[in-house]
Structure 1
């Protein structure tokens, strides 16, 4: 497995995988802006996918279609409007598409890609990065209006569960029987579930988990090597994994998330702080922070931080933290689409990859801290690294309050400085 920090490196690697694909490219997409362009002058995401289809690959896409309760989000979604169908017609798109609604009021929020499904080289990408211009940032060069985010690339047995998820969603996509609910010859046919597990690659133990609202799917067909699962009742394994990981933390918890406001998660963080665990939570500097999360600031080992890069005018500009990841004790981690709010944990359709491998976890933590602190922490243990994060973030907070822009890195504390 390989983490891919920020949009430009992630999409460059994804495009390389698409170019090398021999059989298929499948994706679940939440948001796709018409102005989004892939790196290196490859054109739009649809351009890249159309070229793959023109090569004879089986290109399948599941797009979210908002319902009336989420209609305000249609602007950023490729939801199957007449304009979207006109674009598909104009480009003579060979993609096969199905549209899918979520539980009313929620979102089909998975962002996943699967290359050459069912083969020994089956490769998946998943995370939180949307197909919008704000995502197209190079690692370490964030500025105003840009997002910090993470994808993860997986090759090996875990990819079969990404495959299984796609088939389950494709076959039961809510709009599949409507005239405007699908596109392309072959989009009317269902897919067989995977029946073989790709060979092991690397040393990381990886598990795919999801949020699925009850009543959205009926076919609980088992993934290869697994057991049938009553998916009709829904799935909350993202929530269960987050709680289990925090409750099991012995030394550190590092979180990057767009929103942390679920009481059970904050209660678990509080209990971890009582055990002496050091916690760093990186959230959007301009986002709304719940009182419950901010109240953890009374603990000496809790750091709440945002990110601010240097703009062209030499002043600090907020960077939107769109990543959804957690690293525990420098050994276990999770990356995906799942925010720590009630929508992602209990109602949206979400997918994360959790991994247990010290080398991978420490490599990801070191890469993130190199970007946020402009410091190499690769040789530090996780506790020392997070203590350094706290120190630099508090120093940068003082610079922020003094309207000084010469910081070390881009992280700064969102809590007032301690009273001396």
Structure 2
């Protein structure tokens, strides 16, 4: 663990430990509202933008300028330009790739052509560009509405505005499955603090094509007070930040000073703390397979009798096929195969039925984990080494049994086509396994008329190039 991220012991009534020394503490009094899939997420975000009274501040990683927001609202830039026309303070931090990270995805990198596009539109929102070290990226995805005001609310998650919006019940026709969470209450002030820290020290603020629409010397004040309580959920905003990205240790309201210059690994350490504390069930959705550190912790949980379901892209990432052919990568796959030897472990994808009647895998882009129907994390952090040890990331962890159980039921209803509200978490994981295995067996015989979307995968062969 990072020396700055030592955990505390659990408090009375709390089964999952928390990060005791990170940028932000756990805070009570939050409304925590998961938004599953991009249609509902961007619809709610657009509603919040349209209802904003003062400010709209955003951090982007990947963005398609032609991406269409929900319900005919136009492109991302259409939404932002309308907010500016209403007199709102609209600011965006865009990630600028380095040459070694330029292949990660579709970024609005602040090229001359990008500046020409903004000029042609007459866009008047303010923007800064921010690089990450080496091959890493600033992978945080957040929207902050009315920062520092009574109407403050924040959105944290993994959805990029790059693919067509997906609606619940239609994820089978979609290209990807993902999730955001809306947070209203004291923890939204920590999303505010993160934005100010990044804005004031954005790496490109003093270079040509590094800012848009404002003076590069402008600095934002850090928040001085927390938002009022709006709910009953205990939430902690957690980050991964590479050392050297930011230097101002200004503390968040009601928090101790955190020396961010040394970096932060709150999310990585929280993943391990939560897995190590699981007693009944672990439900994971992630774009990436777990690195050995995470895989070892999952195996220890399986040895304790914990039921584990890991939802990943059914069609493996291309790099995994290359890794399968490299002897030095064998230990990585050995860890996945070790998990597969436990009867109560399930590796699964989801596959929707196409209009032609066939089945096609839905890409899983979500980054979430649910433990024992009592704790969850939602955010941008993958289980691969870059996210855990290099990228800038942001997750929101929640300690609230009602919220977590409801989220589990919502996700499993989508993936299994069956309500699990009458089941406890272990029985729900067992049902997931039975349905996923049954669907996989049917698909092998050419039968695509099966329940839900879940389809189990073979840990021993996952990532192997398809047979020709």
Residue 297 of structure 2 corresponds to residue 254 of structure 1 = no
Choose the corresponding residue for 1:267, options 296, 317, 320. Answer: 296
- 4+ aligned runs moved over 3 Å, structure 1: none
Where structure 1 has 5 or more consecutive residues not aligned to the other structure, the ranges are none
Q: What is aligned with 2:17?
A: none
Residue 211 of structure 2 corresponds to residue 182 of structure 1 = yes
C-alpha contact 1:96 1:187 (8 A) present in aligned 2: no
* Alpha-carbon distance in 1 for matches of 2:338, 2:440: 18
CA offset at residue 140 of structure 1? 2.6
Choose the corresponding residue for 2:99, options 68, 72, 76. Answer: 68
How well do the aligned residues superpose, as a CA RMSD in angstroms? 1.4
CA offset at residue 415 of structure 1? 2.1
User: What are the equivalent positions in structure 2 for 1:239-388 lying under 5 Å apart?
Assistant: 239-288=268-317, 291=333, 292-388=335-431
Where structure 2 has 5 or more consecutive residues not aligned to the other structure, the ranges are 1-31, 321-331, 461-468
* Alpha-carbon distance in 2 for matches of 1:404, 1:193: 58
CA offset at residue 285 of structure 1? 0.6
C-alpha contact 1:167 1:193 (8 A) present in aligned 2: yes
Q: What is aligned with 2:153?
A: 123
What's the secondary structure of 2:410's corresponding residue? helix
Which one is further off, 9-18 or 259-268? 259-268
CA offset at residue 380 of structure 1? 1.3
Q: String of CA shifts for 1:144-198, please: whole Å, max 9, x gaps.
A: 6611000000000000110000000001100000120000035541101000001
Residue 224 of structure 2 corresponds to residue 191 of structure 1 = no
* Alpha-carbon distance in 1 for matches of 2:220, 2:155: 20
Q: What is aligned with 1:389?
A: 432
Residue 56 of structure 2 corresponds to residue 35 of structure 1 = no
CA offset at residue 106 of structure 1? 0.5
* Alpha-carbon distance in 2 for matches of 1:43, 1:156: 30
C-alpha contact 2:336 2:459 (8 A) present in aligned 1: no
Q: What is aligned with 1:111?
A: 141
Q: String of CA shifts for 1:274-325, please: whole Å, max 9, x gaps.
A: 0000000000011256522233111011000001101111100111000000
What's the secondary structure of 2:72's corresponding residue? coil
CA offset at residue 133 of structure 1? 1.9
Choose the corresponding residue for 1:20, options 23, 33, 51. Answer: 51
* Alpha-carbon distance in 1 for matches of 2:289, 2:223: 35
CA offset at residue 208 of structure 1? 0.4
* Alpha-carbon distance in 1 for matches of 2:172, 2:115: 34
C-alpha contact 2:206 2:216 (8 A) present in aligned 1: no
Q: What is aligned with 2:34?
A: 3
What's the secondary structure of 2:436's corresponding residue? helix
What's the secondary structure of 1:106's corresponding residue? coil
Q: String of CA shifts for 1:86-129, please: whole Å, max 9, x gaps.
A: 11111111100000001110011000000000012210001000
What's the secondary structure of 1:40's corresponding residue? helix
* Alpha-carbon distance in 2 for matches of 1:165, 1:186: 20
* Alpha-carbon distance in 1 for matches of 2:316, 2:196: 35
CA offset at residue 72 of structure 1? 2.3
Residue 117 of structure 2 corresponds to residue 87 of structure 1 = yes
* Alpha-carbon distance in 1 for matches of 2:46, 2:294: 36
Per the normalisation by structure 1, the TM-score is 0.97
Which one is further off, 12-21 or 182-191? 182-191
* Alpha-carbon distance in 1 for matches of 2:341, 2:203: 47
* Alpha-carbon distance in 2 for matches of 1:271, 1:140: 35
What's the secondary structure of 1:395's corresponding residue? helix
CA offset at residue 387 of structure 1? 0.7
What's the secondary structure of 1:72's corresponding residue? coil
Number of aligned residue pairs: give it. 415
